[in-house]
Amino acid sequence: MGKKSVVTEAKEIQLAIDLVRLGARLQLLESETSLSRERLLKIYKELKGVSPPKGMLPFSTDWFLTWQPNIHSSLFINIHHYLTQHGGVDGIQAIMKAYQLYQEQMPAEQGEEPVLSLTRAWTLVRFMHSKMLKTVPCTCCGGHFVVNSFDLHADYNCGICHMPSRAGKTRKAKELAESELALAA
């Protein structure tokens, strides 16, 4: 049995802390660190004050292809590509840095979760590496957007240039309902 390095363990703990602060789920922590599940649970509970959410990680590419998540996913993956190609970072560090830059550009509204979580961003990178998803340029604006690798994309128009008819309706309905509640009170 090899000797454990205190410095290596400290780096793993710091990585776990950074990932939890960014919103990582336990499964992500287990994949990206060599720390025991018990230790990761202690770190998570100490930082968040609650047990980590249970359940499986998302394993469908479909979420990344719907209108709003596609825009957020495309922004994140373009930042990630830039950092890995020009920023000299890779692996989980590239995902974390890209996610922090994504959050700066797309901050979540007060009291709301971000559209793209760190765990979904990590899953997206894995889908891209496994070639289940890829990016293609929009024929209208030229931006690169996440698409299913097995679909046809000869004349692809993104969700910004070719907005679906129901896009944005949920926020308007929510704001209308909130204003009606405020007036009733």
Kindly report the CA angle at 182 between 176 and 185, in degrees rounded to 5?
A: 140
Decide if pLDDT at 62 tops 70: yes
Sequential DSSP letters for 92-132? HHHHHHHHHHHHHHSPPPTT---SS-HHHHHHHHHHHHTTS
- 46: number of Cβ within 10 Å: 10
Which one, of 74, 82, 78, 81, lies nearest residue 146 by Cα? Answer: 74
Q: H/E element holding 15?
A: helix 6-21
Mean pLDDT of 14-40: 94
What is the band of 110 on the pLDDT scale with cuts at 50, 70, 90?
A: confident
What is the band of 53 on the pLDDT scale with cuts at 50, 70, 90?
A: confident
Residue 134 in tokens? 């890829």
- Give me the residue spans of the domains in the chain: 1-57, 60-185
Mean pLDDT of 103-122: 91
Decide if pLDDT at 1 tops 50: no
Decide if pLDDT at 115 tops 80: yes
- 88: number of Cβ within 10 Å: 9
Rounded distance between C-alpha atoms, residue 100 and residue 94, angstroms: 10
Q: What is the pLDDT of residue 177?
A: 55
Residue 86 in tokens? 């020009």
